[in-house]
């Protein structure tokens, strides 16, 4: 029997490392500083606006551009991610071993920019665990060519357009892919597109998620079918064949 999955897709922030590292908190602070320093909002307005833009547009950058603010994505990411305390993210050798034990294709799918994704993966010691990184730049290739801020809407999870671009770019068969994310809306969008979904970092059941995974230490218990019929089965077959061959060679008289 083969595993039902031939591809595993992982969100990065708050999925491959926990939200309690302090990175998410620092991102929020930097976004609010951006709204104050670069856009001229007051401190009290910045905090509520960040939440509002996230809810309505999926991110502060998406919201600002939709509202007509000509914010360059690279400048924004440089400000928000450029001075994060990345040393708070520690190498995770347990997760690294786990990922290396999974023979299927593994892909990162994050709303963050490529710089941030690579820095986090390097800090985690996971930079060689993934075949591909789908990130902000992948979903928004035309943004640098926009002649006005709202010409191309910023595409991010959980928008269907963003999800479809990601699955297309990575050449994923949604019926055989397993999608890990800590965000319920993202998980819900994945479900609509036919992915098998895993809500990470939570407990309890929700209808959008096929599985709920409190943390990756439990992965083999929660989703053992990832490993079904994969390399171990293959090795067993090879060793059985070899031992059968050896027994044939030793019991068959030479020249018979
Ligand atoms: Mg996340």
Residues 36-55 pLDDT 10s: 999 999 999 999 999 999 99
| Assigned token pair, 215 | 């943390």
Cα 22 to ligand 1 centre (Å): 13
Cα 252 to ligand 1 centre (Å): 61
Cα 13 to ligand 1 centre (Å): 4
pLDDT of residue 235: 45
Cα 106 to ligand 1 centre (Å): 16
| Assigned token pair, 79 | 């400000």
Q: Is the pLDDT of residue 238 over 80?
A: no
Bridge partners for 212 per DSSP: 199
Cα 256 to ligand 1 centre (Å): 66
Cα 240 to ligand 1 centre (Å): 43
Cα 238 to ligand 1 centre (Å): 40
Cα 110 to ligand 1 centre (Å): 7
Cα 214 to ligand 1 centre (Å): 14
pLDDT of residue 1: 79
DSSP, res 227: G
Cα 156 to ligand 1 centre (Å): 12
Cα 39 to ligand 1 centre (Å): 26
| Assigned token pair, 77 | 């990411």
Q: Is the pLDDT of residue 252 over 90?
A: no
Cα 98 to ligand 1 centre (Å): 20
Cα 200 to ligand 1 centre (Å): 9
Q: Indicate the SS3 state at residue 71.
A: coil
Q: Is the pLDDT of residue 254 over 50?
A: no
Quick check: 65 and 71 in contact, CB under 8 A?
yes
Q: What is the pTM of this model?
A: 0.88
Q: Indicate the SS3 state at residue 213.
A: strand
Could you tell me the end-to-end alpha-carbon distance of the chain, in angstroms, rounded to an integer? 38
Cα 221 to ligand 1 centre (Å): 22
List helix spans (H) across 69-130. Answer: 73-82, 93-100, 114-124
Q: Is the pLDDT of residue 12 over 80?
A: yes
CA 133 to chain centre: 8
């Amino acid at each position: 029997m083969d595993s039902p999955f031939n591809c595993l897709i992982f969100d990065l922030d708050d999925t491959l490392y926990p939200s309690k590292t302090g990175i998410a908190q620092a991102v929020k602070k930097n976004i609010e500083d951006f709204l104050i320093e670069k856009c001229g909002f007051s401190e009290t307005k910045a905090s509520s606006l960040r939440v509002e833009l996230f809810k309505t547009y999926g991110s502060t950058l998406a919201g600002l551009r939709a509202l007509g603010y000509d914010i360059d994505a690279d400048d924004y990411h440089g400000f928000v991610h450029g001075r994060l305390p990345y040393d708070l993210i520690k190498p995770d050798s347990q997760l690294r071993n786990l990922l290396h034990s999974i023979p299927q294709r593994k892909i990162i799918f994050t709303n963050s920019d490529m710089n941030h994704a690579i820095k986090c993966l390097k800090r985690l010691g996971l930079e060689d665990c993934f075949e591909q990184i789908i990130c902000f730049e992948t979903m928004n290739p035309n943004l640098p060519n926009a002649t006005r801020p709202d010409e191309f809407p910023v595409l991010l999870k959980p928008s269907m357009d963003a999800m479809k671009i990601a699955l297309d770019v990575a050449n994923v068969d949604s019926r055989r892919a397993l999608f890990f994310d800590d965000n319920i809306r993202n998980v819900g969008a994945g479900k609509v597109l036919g992915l098998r979904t895993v809500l990470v970092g939570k407990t309890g059941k929700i209808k959008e998620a096929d599985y709920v995974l409190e943390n990756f230490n439990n992965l083999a218990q929660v989703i053992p079918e990832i490993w079904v019929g994969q390399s171990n089965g293959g090795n067993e077959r090879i060793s059985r064949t070899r031992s059968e061959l050896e027994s044939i060679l030793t019991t068959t008289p030479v020249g018979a």
